[in-house]
Amino acid sequence: MTTLHIEPLGPAIGARVAGLSLAAPLDPPHREALRAALLRHQVLFFENQPLTPRQQRDFAAAFGDLHIHPVYPNVREQPEIMVLDTDADNLPDNDNWHTDVTFIDTPPLGAVLAAKSLPPSGGDTLWSSGTAAFDALSAPLQQWLGGLSAVHDFTRSFPEARFRDTPQYARWRQARDDHPPRVHPVVRTHPETGRKALFVNEGFTSRIVELQPRENEALLAFLFAHASRPEFSLRWRWKENDVAFWDNRVTQHYAVADYLPHRRVMHRATILGDRPF
């Protein structure tokens, strides 16, 4: 077994991993080493990793069953690989802090994102740690938040107006009907580490069930701002064939849309998780 070199990128989140080709089949010792690193650092970065869609799918599938997104396009031969292809004619929609696919009962365990084509500059992605954000709250607020639940709504990030006059409208309507709003705890417990993390995000969280409208508006505004503080986050400047692997259960991310009118193409594999508690 080759030795992995794991370089932490910050005290709260992030590590660079070297010494492994993600294109090769992942043996059990390396799989467990990466899982342990993911639990500790929450997002892992691998450089110079040219992957075919099938290789990316196989790497992600080593960590669980894969999700097929109900709206985004995918690679025809590998439907588990979602394509994020944005430019001036197809504007990005992920330039907000979000946790992927929290509108389902079992939001993803993680995701594997590969940089395929990049603009001359810009297009970075930021990640933040929900555990660090939770740990920084006062004990009374932690306790109170632990008793609250929140609604996660597909249409918050995929509004009807964006799809109504497009060829994708029928697919959007089916996705909306298949994914009614779901309720998850405001604070979730990581099923492997036992650590607690904030589990609300600007992309999909619409309201807190137990609160009145003005209370809800104020609290969510605070939590969204708190979760994205620089102390809990890092920024990755992509190079072609970089790969990121993150723990979606306890992180949020933000794709910076500063590269238009240039094109940016990313491939993502999404690993299904379990019901938050």
Please identify every residue annotated as catalytic.
98, 100, 253, 268
Report which of 226, 65, 214 is spatially closest to residue 131, judged by C-alpha positions: 226
Comparing C-alpha atoms, which of 246, 271, 270, 265 is closest to residue 115? 265
3-state secondary structure of 60: helix
How many helices, marked H, and strands, marked E, lie in the chain?
A: 8, 17
Pairing mode, strands 43-46 and 15-18 = parallel
Q: What is the DSSP string of 143-188?
A: HHHTT-EEEE-HHHHS-HHHHTTSTTHHHHHHHHHH---EEEESEE
Q: Map tokens 């097929």 to a residue.
A: 68
Q: State the first-to-last Cα distance of the chain, in angstroms, to the nearest integer.
A: 36
Token pair for residue 3? 């030795």
Contact 17, 45 (CB under 8 A): yes
- Burial degree of 166 (CB within 10 A; 0-12, 13-18, 19+): exposed
DSSP secondary structure code for residue 121 in this structure: S
